[in-house]
Structure 1
């Protein structure tokens, strides 16, 4: 076979696979402490390469490195790689010394009697960098603290037993995804990895190669480029034992069952064409449920900007971007909120539609919804949808700047129950859901609100935060809600991130501050953040992101004044 792609020949791919086969044997002999050292070197490389990384990402997305939009690339690129690699290293050192990686993680009781691991904030720096944010990992019902601690470590509990070679098919949107998925395959599953980068992020090849060099120069990881042909060759290669993909459910089904009528027939029959295991993170139609009781005019403005960010971060090309906003149809301030939402969407910085097919998907969404409202800079807002109508926005992940608003009757717990039914039963996918609620009203609802959170079948739930913040939290698992199958894959099978290597997790619940800085204490919360750095209208996001990366790499108190000064200007 002499297939040649734009970047990689079959001979080069075969050579890479041979190196990995030899590397797997060396990996099996490598002590946990040495593995931890290599992960720490990856974190160091991510810090060293951060400027080149961000510049490459900005070239790929056609934005200026000096623009506030570059803050997204600092915070979603090198930052989570530094924190994730360092946390994985700490987990391996705990295992090496005979401790569980979660031996000292505080626990609490989640709804339904579940055990919750309080994984964030972990240390004082966490409280400062992500002020007011906390994250709890709920274990599956019936899993005890003792069971969780003994199982934490996953494949690293038996490090000498490796599990072959994995091909990781990298994502084309967030630049850290491919690296984080590679680290998880290597550590959590004890598989050596060949990583194929997505052509959309071809500019990232040199930076990612440099970050993973501590692993690749020893034969534990290989990084290659190319399109569908390269991916297909690797997926079908007999030496590859496992596939991991971040992408769409259509891509997953094409890999597992094949394409065309024959592939669909195999999917309906439940007979895979793929003769190996596969894990996946596939996105979906993510909701934001607005619970507006007790909101002031300033709350409406701030949360409208929050919602616009959830849709427009990275131009809307996020698997976790909010696509459907749920609001009460009888809300007296509904008109005011929708006016603010339109205004925030329009005022968000203009940016190129860098992801292939974006403009066509926006046009298709406009054609298929009578109430579609074209906004500034190629964005689309679909208003006035009802929960019982048939709407493509409920089932198609547009992966573009399209936001739909659904109005649900009722208030109080009746509204929450109706919202829960709608998002669980009508929306495609289970990756993440957001909830915006005044803390006082949350406390008033009490157990009814806890029931509501428990009822949401999503892998990450963010309360007064965006689920994207959960992505930044190294110890939190990331993936769809448990229960997906090859035939009904929803938002994917398996997990990534999860740097404490916890088994039997069900979901992550992230909580953030309802109000920023000066108004936060009124709600009984404390936040020292005036405007989160990931908000799309933060004018100093690039400065804050760069300084957060520097601090994550070398946490010194002397770095904080400059970081906070930039944050206050945001």
Structure 2
């Protein structure tokens, strides 16, 4: 135990009781009638009208942004004045506003007879793939995301002509109604359910019933105001309740499609049922669900630390980076970094581990709020009696045995503040290849992977880094960034690496976000600066490393001005006031 602390069970917020089933079901039937009418209405709107509707929607989202962020912060027990409240601005209304802006650009391009890929550079990627360079997408990205670049990689064999011709998905045939979709919302990040609804509407012309997770019940009135333009036209209905309501909805004949963000266990219960009935259905190949389903289900995300020659400042900054990957939203993220892969032969391994342990223990205290987190931490304590605990026993670092057949931290998505550390032999390309193989073959899931590599080592590898990215079987890959930041960038896709099926779902089936509505997406890749401003200047001058004007990103859990900067960025997204942006960027340098 670190510092002699006894491990203390986290606080878990008590969830409100489910709405009485009979009353909710009556409302559901009325809502389905409204959605049936809404589906017909959506098919009559041309692309320009749809773009204007989404423009109205961004106004109502902007008007509700403060209430949205503050309600979410209170529900997660973040105290007033905490810099961590910035997470709820960024991952809620900010991300939704950027997604709406990107969707409007796509609709306007299609309405003007252009492809959403017009003006996007397409280049070759390893393995017979092409990649679309979608970030920066607009001039302001060069400021707000200075030094970051993003690519969508398409499946092997897709040609440039095919990519351009297919871009737009359902909006290429807007009069084809997609019926009514059911979206079962996530409970951890407040924009997830709404972004899933938006993708259903645009990619497949499906109007939606959204069932929110009970952890977000307090936000339902906010959502109803923020998304009033969709609700008024019968394009969206929002319901809440417990598992009985979810079970009723998934078996309702009105739905043509189901999308879920959640756990593989919940997915399997929807598709196959439970208990002996599930076993029988699996054996017979007769799922309980009779309509198509897509899903995002999380996994165990690796953080591959490529050995190099790092300064003391590099060690501290990247340690804080990893701590953010694990502790943002108190670790309740489907792409929270969970297993750090280090080189056993890196001369700086000991110094880096010391910096990592120090940063992990010193990160701001916060409530471990997601339901059943206490059970998770108790299981970790039982599996790892030698774990290092900090923050009054609510976060742990565990050493992973690379020779174990099934180490729990590698096979269980903990969804709590638990970080594993594992060493592999080698340096340079040998280490990188070993780390990629370990991530692919030993870690559960295929949603997100992170790679940290200094510019000099990257240059020494030549094409080795691109080859490693191609070999990683993950749907989102961040290089010198965190895949969680990719979630906020609408032009990038979000979802598991292709290959999931209802019988073997892994991290899920299909993608969302993907604002340009590209077809046959395999993965998205984001690359960021290894060093923040101003430490990156010497390397950038020599052509080594990305240039950025950004200091510590506001999403770092150690950013002292994270709440102020995140609120300012959200308000700027809503009103476009350049003076507000200038003031916000000034505050960012106080992080």
Shared fold (TM-score greater than 0.5)?
yes
Distance in 1 separating the partners of 2:424 and 2:471: 17
1:460-505 per-position Cα deviation (integer Å, ceiling 9, x unaligned): 1000000011111111111000111111111110111111111111
Deviations 1:36-64 (A, max 9, x none): 11111221211111100011101211112
Equivalent position to 1:481, from 493, 497, 500: 497
**Pairing 1:120–2:135 present:** yes
Question: What residue number does 1:320 align with?
Answer: 335
Q: Which stretch of structure 1 is more off in the superposition, 464-473 or 387-396?
A: 387-396
Once the two structures are superposed, what CA deviation does each residue of 1:57-79 show, in whole Å capped at 9, x if it has no partner?
01211112431011000110001
1:309: which partner in 2?
Answer: 324
2:485 pairs with 469, 483, 498, which one? 469
* Kept in 2: contact 1:8–1:225 (CA 8 A): no
Q: CA deviation at 1:447?
A: 1.4
- Give the C-alpha shift of residue 421 in structure 1: 1.0
Is the 8 Å Cα contact of residues 28 and 161 (structure 1) preserved in structure 2?
A: yes
Matched, 1:368 2:389: no
Q: Deviations over 1:320-339 (max 9, x none)?
A: 10011100112222221111
Aligned to 2:501, what secondary structure does the other structure show? Answer: coil
Superposed displacement of residue 270, structure 1: 3.7
Q: Match of 2:277?
A: 262
Q: Which residue of 1 aligns with 2:573?
A: 552
Q: Which deviates further from its counterpart, 35-44 or 484-493?
A: 35-44
Q: What residue ranges of structure 1 are gaps of 5+ in the alignment?
A: none
1:21 aligns with 2:68: no
* The one of 211, 221, 230 aligned to 2:226: 211
User: In the alignment, does 2:289 pair up with 1:274?
Assistant: yes
Contact map agreement 1:8 1:224 (CA 8 A) in 2: no
Greater CA drift, 521-530 or 420-429: 521-530
Whole-angstrom distance in 1 between the partners of 2:205 and 2:69: 30
Query: Does structure 1 residue 394 correspond to structure 2 residue 410?
Result: yes
* Residues 60, 202 of structure 1: 8 Å contact kept: no
Contact 2:19 2:240 in 1 (8 A): no
Q: CA deviation at 1:389?
A: 4.2
State how far apart, in whole Å, the 1-side matches of 2:538 and 2:262 are: 42
**Count, aligned residues:** 568
- Residue 202 of structure 1, CA deviation: 1.1
Give deviations 1:220-274, integer Å, cap 9, x for gaps: 1101111111111111111111110000111110100011233144335543111
Q: 1:387: Cα distance to partner?
A: 5.1
| CA separation of 1:422 and 1:270: change in aligned 2, threshold 3 A | farther
- Change in CA separation of 1:509 and 1:517 when aligned onto 2, cut-off 3 Å: same
Give the equivalent residue in structure 1 for 2:457: 441
1:485 and 1:306 mapped to 2: Cα distance?
33
Deviation at 1:213, TM superposition (A): 0.8
Question: Partner of 1:406: helix, strand, or coil?
Answer: strand
Residue aligning to 2:547 = 526
User: Once structures 1 and 2 are overlaid, which stretch shifts more, 6-15 or 54-63?
Assistant: 6-15
Distance 1:230 1:436, change over 3 A: same
Quote the Cα distance in structure 2 between the aligned partners of 1:452 and 1:292.
15
Contact preservation (8 Å) 1:253, 1:267:
no
**Consecutive unaligned residues in structure 2, runs of 5 or more:** 1-17, 541-545
Aligned to 1:173: 188
Is 1:186–2:201 an aligned residue pair? yes
Write the distance in 2 (CA, Å) between the matches of 1:320 and 1:265: 33
Moved more, 6-15 or 224-233: 6-15
CA contact (8 A) 1:185 1:191 kept: yes
Counterpart selection for 2:248 from 233, 244, 250 = 233
Equivalent residues of 2:341, 2:422 under 8 A apart: yes
* SS of residue in 2 equivalent to 1:178: helix
- Alignment partner of 1:104 is 2:119: yes
Tell me, in whole angstroms, the C-alpha distance in 2 between the residues paired with 1:292 and 1:264.
Answer: 46
Q: Which residue of 2 aligns with 1:409?
A: 425
Q: What TM-score do the two structures reach when normalised by structure 1?
A: 0.97
Give 1:4 deviation, angstroms. 6.0
The equivalent of 2:51 in structure 1 is 36
Distance 2:181 2:566 in 1: 32
SS at match of 1:9: helix
Match of 1:147 in 2: 162
Aligned to 1:569: 590
Alignment-derived partner of residue 75 in structure 2 = 60
Which has the higher mean CA deviation after the structures are superposed, 211-220 or 307-316? 211-220
- 2:447 equivalent to 1:431: yes
Tell me how far apart the structure 2 counterparts of residues 556 and 396 of structure 1 sit (CA, whole Å).
45
Scaled by the length of structure 2, the TM-score of the pair is: 0.94
Q: What is the distance in 2 between the residues matched to 1:77 and 1:393?
A: 29
Root-mean-square deviation over aligned CA pairs: 1.5
Q: Work out which of the residue numbers 362, 365, 372 in structure 2 matches 1:357.
A: 372
Contact 2:493 2:512 in 1 (8 A): yes
Q: Secondary structure at the match of 1:122?
A: coil
Decide which of 449, 452, 458 is 2:474's aligned counterpart: 458
1:76-95 matches, cutoff 5 A? 76-95=91-110
Find the counterpart in structure 1 of residue 12 from structure 2: none
